Amino acid sequence: MGQSMKAAVLHGPRDIRIETYLRPELQPGMVLLRNRKVGICGSDLHYYEHGYCAAFVPDRPFVLGHELTAEVVSVADEVDTVKIGERVTVNPARACGFCDYCKAGRGNLCRRTIVIGSASTTPPTNGAIAEFVLVRSDQCHILPVELDDSLGAMTEPLAVALHAVKRAGVVSGKRALVTGAGTIGLLVALVAKAFGAIPVVVSDIVPVRRSKASELGADAALDPASADLADQVRALAGDGFDFIFEASGSPRALRGAFDLVRPGGTIVQIGTMGTGDTPLPANLIMNKEINLIGSMRYGNVFDEAIRLVAMRRINLRPLINGEFSLDDAAKAFEFATDKTQSFKVQIQL
């Protein structure tokens, strides 16, 4: 096996180049993976469109991608949790394992986390839109035969949605609204429905995304700009929704959630808002006793996410509507930026 590989390297806004790149070297406790299928995430698109993602600004060109199915090609001597030839998906966030957050089972809050395909570290950590990627062995989750490469690469975004719904608490029998019908918002709606929420309502300003939400089984799909939005909510949820999952990353959507949640209800913030502060209605939070909860990446839910798909409790296939080769990575990103037609775009390696 040679010491180089082909990779899609981000050099700046809308500047992705296919290059010969240095292949990662195996290190103690680590696993070298040959990538098979990689999804493009919303954070990848932020880097692609703007050159940064929220407060994360890369100081050099790097490789994006953190939603993947891969084959194990090499393991360090002491690794016995995965074997060469196995197909895996990956938790891209490598927590330290030793801090108070990690010991308390909240590794997603670890301040020393290293995420592949991210500029959250300096220098940025290369990701999976390349022929090979290096991860720690405990980041790997073996995929059953029921999950093909495309579904395996959907595990990471599903884990985001699963963690968010778990952060809310018991949703069975409760009224839920998801604001934002991108991939994460639609996955949150699927998880909430699988967990018994009724009705599950989705809102988005883009008509094709509302249509996709209805296709996936949402009980209603609302236009947040509609003049009679309040009347529609009243008909669906009376005084308001028990749970609102804000997945759009829009300050306007978050502000509207405080009007649409019922007294004593809960808002879960999932979407990234950027670096600026977002004003919140403090008096409304107080007199309605609204619970505002953050949801960051995922807890220990990857194996549960895999089981939900393998046992056909959640169907991810309709969300995948674009596949490109590594050589066409730039075209894949351009297609993914078009919210009127793209949902989950994946790169086949």
Q: Domains of the chain, with CATH numbers? A: 4-154+316-348 (3.90.180.10), 162-294 (3.40.50.720)
Give bridge partners of residue 202 from the DSSP assignment: 178, 221
Res 156: pLDDT: 98
Distances (CA, A) of 116 to 65, 127, 128, 173, 183: 7, 5, 8, 38, 20
Which residue ranges of the chain lie beneath pLDDT 50?
none
Res 166: pLDDT: 97
Give the global pTM.
0.96
Q: What is the pLDDT of residues 14-61, one digit of tens each?
A: 999 999 999 999 999 999 999 999 999 999 999 999 999 988 999 999
Res 2: pLDDT: 62
The CA distance from 227 to 234, in Å, is: 13
First to last CA, the chain: 17
Res 145: pLDDT: 97
The CA distance from 254 to 248, in Å, is: 9
Res 276: pLDDT: 80
Residue in the structure block whose two tokens are 């600004």: 57
- Tokens representing 184 are 């994460």
- Tokens representing 11 are 């050099």
